[in-house]
Amino acid sequence: MAKQLPPPGEDVQTAARNEKILDLRRRGWSFRRIAGSVGIGRSTACKVVHAHLDIIAAECSEHTHAIRAQEIERLDAATEAIWDRVKGGDLPAIGTLLRLSAQRASLLGLNAPTKVAATDPTGKHAAPAVVTFDLSRLSDAKLAQLEALHSEIQPPAAGGDDDDSPDDPNPR
């Protein structure tokens, strides 16, 4: 990885710490494990990772808008190329226009949302409801008790550390 200058307003030491946090997260480390390794709070580790993800999302969004605009220009050119045949009643040209219009509506988000029902992996039964809880107000002792109870009723998933949730469920 090439060395980069720290972002504006961020000193070199903080930038290095944040890069280490991101690297450890890429390796699959939990926020708790990262926090212990780097010597920070779990919520700080989470905030660093989420801030980085927000930057990536913004960059992707910019590229998405440019690609969408390019695709709309192509649809405009294709529509213009067949327009005289459409006006003349050419059925294949009309079919092509309808497909172009459908693609344009999809790109611009003009279609009504499609309702999708969650199912189990077989696709035959409704998926069980997911229940979430705001645990941000619990003390560390209460969280430890809750984790102990959880591990008694459901062992961690194979392959790793299951503590990937931040202290704050909405850190952004």
Distance CA 85, CA 119 (A): 46
Query: What pLDDT is stored for residue 172 in this prediction?
Result: 42
Query: What pLDDT is stored for residue 8 in this prediction?
Result: 63
CA quadruple 59, 64, 69, 73: dihedral positive or negative?
A: positive
In the numeric block, the tokens 């779990």 are attached to 42
pLDDT tens string 53-99: 998 888 888 888 889 999 999 999 999 999 999 999 999 999 999 99
Confidence class of residue 168 from pLDDT cuts 50, 70 and 90? Answer: very low
Contact 166, 21 (CB under 8 A): no
CA quadruple 166, 167, 169, 172: dihedral positive or negative?
A: negative
Query: What pLDDT is stored for residue 1 in this prediction?
Result: 44
For the entire predicted model, the pTM comes to 0.43
pLDDT tens string 142-161: 888 888 887 778 654 554 44
pLDDT tens string 21-59: 999 999 999 999 999 999 999 999 999 999 999 988 888
